[in-house]
Amino acid sequence: MTADRRQAFVTSVGDLLASWNLPHATGRVYGLLLLGEEPVSLDTIAAELGLSKGAVSTAVRQLDSWGLARVIPQPGSRRLLVEATGGIEALLEASQARARTLIAALGEGEDLVGPGPARERLHDVIGLFAGYVEVGSELLASHRRRRTGPDPAPPSGTAGTAP
């Protein structure tokens, strides 16, 4: 991959995460980590992206809290290494949890409206988010099956019995 294409990718990921209300620097750090074969130090990230070590440290903390990066302490040293994780699953799960909370809150409003446009609108919004959660759950389950293989069959004679 050429340096220009690499830089374009890193910038693109920065733009994308910025649209999710994360700092552009956080997205750029994530883009760089996604391209890395090995964990890298904060100093390496700062040098490659032209960011201050403080900005990189903040970005790494954000990525770690979102499940998008893993921080690896180095024994006997204050130095940390960082690598990207498959944290998109964690993001989708968090988004689905927020959607479920919204569905429950919207459901509380159902008895506040009578038949008519307001009730229809409320049901449409609830239905939209319920569909999002359903499709997202299926997507995550399918992704996990592809990654880990099918669940093993239970031992014979145990089907339908409680543990």
What 3-state class would DSSP assign to 36? coil
Q: Using an 8 Å Cβ cutoff, are 147 and 100 in contact? A: no
Percent of the chain with pLDDT over 70: 90
Q: Using an 8 Å Cβ cutoff, are 66 and 91 in contact? A: yes
Strand partners, 44: none
Q: Using an 8 Å Cβ cutoff, are 40 and 82 in contact? A: yes
Assign 1 a pLDDT band (cuts: 50, 70, 90).
low
Q: How far apart are CA 109 and CA 89, in angstroms?
A: 31
DSSP 39-80: -EEHHHHHHHHT--HHHHHHHHHHHHHTTSEEEEE-TTSS-E
Res 78 pLDDT > 50: yes
According to DSSP H, which parts of the chain are helical? 3-19, 24-35, 42-49, 53-65, 88-108, 117-148
Span 86-112, average pLDDT: 82
Cβ atoms < 10 Å from Cβ of 42: 21
Q: Which residue has the tokens 């880990």?
A: 148
What 3-state class would DSSP assign to 82? strand
The helix-helix angle for 42-49 and 53-65 (nearest 10°) equals: 110
Q: What is the mean pLDDT of the chain?
A: 85
- Name the residue with higher pLDDT: 44 or 18: 44
Least confident of 23-27, 99-103, 146-150: 146-150
Closest listed residue to residue 31, CA positions, set 5, 2, 61, 54:
5
| 98 contact partners, CB below 8 Å, separation of at least 6 | none
pLDDT digits (tens, 9 = 90+) for 141-160: 888 888 787 655 544 444 44
Name which CATH class applies to 3-84. Answer: mainly alpha
- Name the residue with higher pLDDT: 97 or 90: 97
